[in-house]
Amino acid sequence: MKKYKLLYFVSEDEYFITHKINQAVSAFKIFKEIKIICKFSKFQRIIKSSGFKTKNINFNRRSVSFLENIKSFLNYCFIVSNYKPNVVQCFALKPILYAVVANFFLKSDTKIICCVVGMGYLFINKNLFTTIYKSLFFFLLKIFVNNKVFFVFQNHDDLNVFKNKKILKKNIPKIIQGSGVCIKSFKENKKKKIYDLIFHSRILKDKGIYEIIEALKILKKKKIFIKTLVLGNIDNKNRSSISQQELDLWIKENLIIWKPKVQDVVPYLQKSKISILPSYREGLPKGLLEAASCKLPIISTNVPGCKEVCINNFNGFLVPPKDPKSLARSIEKLVFNKNLLYRFGSNSRSLVEQKFSTHIISKKFLNVYYELI
């Protein structure tokens, strides 16, 4: 039997641990060897203990320095040339660009699976930087994408962007919705609910945290006090990050309860009534999937990614993005309605079981691998 090798290229090890490790483990059914390359911080030992080979790459997902990116790109080329994988699977826009361009110049027979896991920052923020970056990104892809490059999208909106840019002219793209959620681990607990709302995500402007705060202030003025748990970290490397001072102020005003650096989110989801994520754009939000699997109703926004997990009036409410008044109305309508909470929660769990379980998503990726090798 041929010894197939898979190279996983992600930006940071924390993302691999939180989003991709279960999917990658299932790939051992086909690949005898899997190497993870990324910028490692604290999870390299855990990843190695799961059977993966690892290699650190000097990679900064935020950097716009031409020299720094050239160094990172050459570092990636060196790793690929030495490892000689049968398949490279890359996640996020910059790793995709590195992998596609490198494969072209190396004239390799390696197949490239480009997993587009969201394009939020490029499309939410309309400024000179994002305009130039977006134009350059699509220009380079149009030149270097060849018949060895295959695209996987998490939602149809992102697929249509690439289609309209005429990037998908070589191979038929696939839709595989997210990373999947382990429905055995993320399940309901019928104990008393402590929190009315749970926001389970990085604390970013683009995730709608300001809209949540404004909605809570609107409700507070009406003497409606919503106990809201914010479960996530400030991401200082992200341009959409909020400040610690803002967070401290919201805590002082008794608008939120904040718990950072939580490893096991399940107990907190099980103690919450509603999951909320008024994001501006997503690939497919894993936090909402985990909440839905725990039988939580959802309040989210009618934007790419979110509308795949939250179906309006089926398992939650969809509101327009950047609309705290609509958000407040939806919270008020749902939080005290026991029948609606139960119906939406049950529908959330059914949706995950039918479409988003780890088993279903991993099986779809295994089929992609079989097609390529």
Domain ranges in the chain are 5-180+357-372, 195-356
**pLDDT 10s digit of each residue in the chain, 373 long?**
578 999 999 999 999 999 999 999 999 999 999 999 999 999 999 999 999 999 999 888 777 788 999 999 999 999 999 999 999 999 999 999 999 999 999 999 999 999 999 776 666 767 777 788 889 999 999 999 999 999 999 999 999 999 999 999 778 999 999 989 999 999 998 888 999 999 999 999 999 999 999 999 999 999 999 999 999 999 887 878 999 999 999 999 999 999 998 989 999 999 999 999 999 999 999 999 999 999 999 999 999 999 999 999 999 999 999 999 999 999 999 999 999 999 999 999 999 999 999 999 999 999 999 999 8
Question: What is the identity of the amino acid at 119?
Answer: M
Beta carbons of 148 and 112 less than 8 angstroms apart = yes
Amino acid 63: pLDDT: 79
Summarize pLDDT for 277-302 with one digit per residue, the tens: 999 999 999 999 999 999 999 999 99
Rounded to an integer, what distance in angstroms lies between the CA atom of residue 49 and that of residue 212?
39
Summarize pLDDT for 4-28 with one digit per residue, the tens: 999 999 999 999 999 999 999 999 9
Q: Tell me if the domain spanning 195-356 has CATH number 3.40.50.1820.
A: no
Tell me the sheet residues that pair with 175: 153
Q: In what order do the strands lie in the sheet with 316-319?
A: 257-259, 228-231, 195-200, 272-277, 298-301, 316-319
Amino acid 218: pLDDT: 98
SS3 category, 234: coil
Amino acid 130: pLDDT: 76
Beta carbons of 140 and 151 less than 8 angstroms apart = no
Composition of the chain by helix, strand, coil, percent to 5: 45, 20, 35
Amino acid 59: pLDDT: 86
Counting every residue, how long is the chain? 373
Rounded to an integer, what distance in angstroms lies between the CA atom of residue 146 and that of residue 144?
6
Tell me which residue has tokens 């695209």: 151
Structure token digits, residue 339: 């029948």
Largest CA distance in the chain: 68
195-356: same fold as 5-180+357-372? yes
Query: Which CATH homologous superfamily contains domain 5-180+357-372?
Result: Glycogen Phosphorylase B; (3.40.50.2000)
